[in-house]
Amino acid sequence: MNELKTQIKELLIEELHLEDLVPAAIENHAPLFGDGLGLDSLDALQLAVAVEERFRVRVPEDKVGERAVNSIDDLAGYIARGSLPTNLLH
């Protein structure tokens, strides 16, 4: 799982052009949005597309955003399961 989290961090940095960050500087539990990394809804969409392409996991359009990918931990769990958590599907 640690390898997956590192891959996600690298993807995040690459796709969102966050060149001033290194993977180790991104905490696994820290929020990606708002007071965390400060990502916005456009970043969420770009990240969702990148995750779909790299990890072959579908992220439904209506689920893109903070609740689906709140942290690296959440995103890694989502990818490992291959789907959104049940509580996000309603």
d(CA 59, CA 64): 7
Contact 39, 47 (CB under 8 A): yes
Provide the whole-model pTM: 0.82
Total Cβ atoms within 10 A of residue 45 = 14
Give the number of domains in the chain.
1
Q: What is the pLDDT of residue 88?
A: 42
Asked if 19 and 58 touch (Cβ cutoff 8 Å), the reply is no
CB 28 within 8 A of CB 5: yes
CATH number (domain holding residue 60): 1.10.1200.10
pLDDT digits (tens, 9 = 90+) for 17-63: 999 999 999 999 999 888 888 888 889 889 889 998 999 888 777 66
Range of the domain at 72: 2-88
**What does the pLDDT read at residue 85?**
47
Instruction: Pull the structure tokens for residue 1.
Output: 């799982």
- Measure the CA–CA gap between 33 and 71, rounded to whole angstroms: 8
